[in-house]
């Protein structure tokens, strides 16, 4: 059976006002490109959304992961949208398009990518996550809980196909190395790594019983790609659900706890992760708080059935309320850590200039 590929490629190519929302004109520009690709058979289906100022192209096709044609299609779509953004003098027009010419793959060029290829199951349920005002490490805690915490995913205990556990592919984004770790037996080693959210990121998860791909997360760190502040790495992820994978409700359950993530205001503050509907993915308070959207689809012969807006549900109201209380509390720390990120993690800083200016006035104590 031929395998279908699900590709999520995202970029911030401009928004208004400030970093709030990518306007519909940008979605329309991408839509025009993707419709063309659908007509000429390059892609099988697509859905475009935006999470805050980030555009997400959700595409199904039969070209495999890292396909040059698919990446070029995304790159061209984002460039079309960036042109409109520039013309309309939107904020941060072309923000995530770091190179002028396409060179075969969008990785390292600014956009974020989460792709997986698989044989469709009789019912192929997937959840596509998109976040704004945070970074890929925002997925570490929830992905860990989906695939390793039996208090969150009951299937780990009671589903025969999940019971053997999962393999985590963890990337060291400083030294550009990766490692595979098996849970449950290497749980403590896994946590020792991914508890460091500035350095270790979960890239993929596989089911141990048959090595099937279960989840993939975009791990591109824009600030590392560009060497200076260029916006953040607002991530996307795909998780397969049901039939030996976590149930949809087990995939969503970790987000009932609004954990603290990096990336709020100027990519330099921590805040709670607010689970929101597509409609509410328009961050305004102190440019946040950081947000997460979840869209559910079933894939049928390469066609996307959906989306279902999964956080558009009252059962996440308590998480949202708690998140907003945490946001109030953290905001009162103003420029102090732990609200503000550490010096190494901040994407904006004046400290080198301040230190230089004050250099001569520092005396031995
Ligand atoms: P890939 O596994 O997709 O090559 O990811 C590379 C990466 O993003 C390392 O930071
Ligand atoms: P984005 O990364 O979503 O563009 O946000 C930039 C920012 O710093 C807003 O405060
Ligand atoms: Mg932006
Ligand atoms: Mg953004």
- Asked whether the predicted pLDDT for residue 349 surpasses 90, the reply is no
Class of 1-119 per CATH?
alpha beta
Q: What average pLDDT is seen over the chain? A: 95
What distance lies between CA 169 and its chain's CA centroid?
16
Please identify, by atom number, the ligand 2 atom nearest to the C-alpha of residue 268. Answer: 8
pLDDT of residue 230: 61
pLDDT of residue 126: 98
- Residues lining ligand 3 (ion), CB within 5 A? 12, 19, 53, 92
pLDDT of residue 226: 67
pLDDT of residue 67: 98
Residue 178, judged by CB atoms within 10 A of its CB (0-12, 13-18, 19+), counts as middle
Phi, psi of 283 (to 5 degrees): -70, 125
* Nearest residue to 261 (alpha-carbon basis) of 361, 364, 137, 78: 137
Q: Of 68-72, 78-82, 135-139, 220-224, which range is least confident?
A: 220-224
228-267: pLDDT as tens digits: 656 568 999 999 999 999 999 999 999 999 999 999 999 9
Q: Which residues are catalytic?
A: 12, 229, 232
304-348: pLDDT as tens digits: 999 999 999 999 999 999 999 999 999 999 999 999 999 888 888
- Asked whether the predicted pLDDT for residue 55 surpasses 70, the reply is yes
Taking a C-beta distance cutoff of 8 angstroms, is the pair 230, 191 a contact? no
Q: How far is the CA of 239 from the centre of ligand 2 (A)?
A: 25
Q: How far is the CA of 75 from the centre of ligand 1 (A)?
A: 18
- Which of 10, 12, 18, 19 is the pocket-test mutation for ligand 2 (most atoms within 8 Å of CB)? 19
Beta carbons within 10 angstroms of residue 99's beta carbon: 12
How are beta strands 274-275 and 291-300 bridged, if at all?
A: parallel
Please identify, by atom number, the ligand 2 atom nearest to the C-alpha of residue 266. Answer: 8
Average confidence (pLDDT) over 15-39: 98
Query: What six digits make up the tokens of 125?
Result: 């349920």
Query: What six digits make up the tokens of 130?
Result: 């998109």
Half-sphere exposure of 290 (CA within 13 A, CB side): 32
Half-sphere exposure of 11 (CA within 13 A, CB side): 32
pLDDT band at residue 157 using 50, 70 and 90 as cut-offs: very high
- Asked whether the predicted pLDDT for residue 29 surpasses 80, the reply is yes
Q: Rounded to two decimals, what is the model's pTM?
A: 0.95
Beta carbons within 10 angstroms of residue 243's beta carbon: 14
Q: How far is the CA of 232 from the centre of ligand 2 (A)?
A: 6
pLDDT of residue 307: 98
Domain ranges for the chain: 1-119, 123-354
Ligand 1 pocket residue status of 218, Cβ below 6 Å: no
């Amino acid at each position: 059976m031929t395998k279908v590929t699900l590709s999520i490629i995202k970029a911030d190519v401009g928004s208004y006002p400030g970093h709030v929302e990518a306007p519909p004109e940008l979605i329309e520009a991408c839509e025009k490109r993707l419709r063309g690709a659908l007509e000429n058979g390059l892609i099988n289906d697509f859905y475009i959304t935006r999470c805050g100022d980030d555009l997400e192209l959700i595409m199904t096709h039969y070209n495999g992961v890292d396909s040059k044609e698919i990446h070029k299609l995304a790159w061209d779509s984002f460039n079309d949208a960036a042109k409109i953004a520039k013309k309309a003098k939107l904020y941060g027009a072309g923000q995530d398009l770091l190179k002028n010419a396409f060179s075969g793959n969008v990785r390292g060029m600014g956009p974020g990518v989460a792709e997986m290829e698989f044989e469709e199951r009789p019912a192929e349920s997937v959840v596509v996550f998109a976040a704004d005002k945070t970074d890929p490490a925002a997925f570490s805690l929830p992905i860990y809980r989906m695939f390793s915490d039996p208090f969150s995913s009951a299937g780990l205990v009671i589903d025969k196909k999940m019971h053997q556990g999962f393999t985590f592919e963890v990337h060291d984004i400083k030294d550009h190395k990766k490692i595979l770790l098996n849970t449950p037996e290497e749980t403590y080693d896994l946590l020792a790594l991914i508890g460091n959210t500035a350095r270790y990121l979960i890239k993929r998860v596989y089911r141990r019983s048959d090595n099937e791909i279960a989840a993939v997360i975009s791990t591109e760190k824009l600030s590392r790609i560009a060497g200076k502040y260029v916006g953040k790495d607002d991530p996307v992820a795909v998780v397969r659900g049901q039939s030996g994978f976590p149930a949809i409700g087990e995939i969503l359950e970790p987000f009932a706890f609004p954990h603290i993530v990096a990336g709020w205001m100027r990519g330099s503050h921590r805040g709670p992760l607010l689970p929101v509907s597509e409609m509410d993915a328009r961050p305004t308070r102190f440019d946040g708080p950081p947000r997460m959207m979840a869209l559910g689809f079933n894939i049928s012969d390469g066609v996307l059935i959906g989306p279902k807006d999964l956080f558009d549900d009252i059962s996440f109201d308590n998480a949202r309320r708690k998140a907003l209380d945490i946001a109030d509390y953290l905001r009162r720390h103003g420029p102090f850590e732990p609200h503000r990120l550490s010096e190494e993690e901040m994407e904006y800083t004046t400290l080198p200039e301040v230190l230089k200016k004050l250099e001569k006035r520092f005396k031995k104590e």
